[in-house]
Amino acid sequence: MDMSELMKHARQFQERLGDIQQELGSRTVTGSAGGGMVTATLNGRLELIDLHIEAQVVNPGDVSMLQDLVIAAVNDGLIKARQLAQSELGKLTGGMNIPGLF
């Protein structure tokens, strides 16, 4: 493979990567905690885009429980968003784990 062919493949890879990253921005996953009392929706770019808290779990006397539920829901969503990103990027990389992509 000559250098021009290698550069062509690199450009194609970058274009496909950009397309996948754009698509991931429009795909969402939802993490939850407390039996769904707290839900966190994230996009495939690992951005928190919505947080829903049921009124029943809002207890001014126990703020730490609510904080724990929010953290658990966001972390659950992050795990799902990373799995989504890895799955989509795996299609591009043939399953190879390339550090820095996600």
Could you tell me if 101 and 90 are in contact, meaning their C-beta atoms sit under 8 angstroms apart? no
Calculate what percentage of the chain has a pLDDT beyond 90.
Answer: 54
Q: Which CATH superfamily is domain 26-89 in?
A: Nucleoid-associated protein YbaB-like domain (3.30.1310.10)
More confidently predicted of 64 and 93: 64
Average pLDDT, the chain: 88
Structure tokens that stand for 10 in this block: 């690199």
The tens digit of pLDDT for each residue in 67-100 reads 999 999 999 999 999 999 888 888 876 766 665 5
Domain coordinates in residue numbering, the chain: 26-89
Coil, strand, or helix at residue 96? Answer: coil
> 37 and 57 in contact (C-beta within 8 Å)?
yes
Q: What is the pTM of this model?
A: 0.75
SS3 23: helix
Contact 50, 38 (CB under 8 A): no
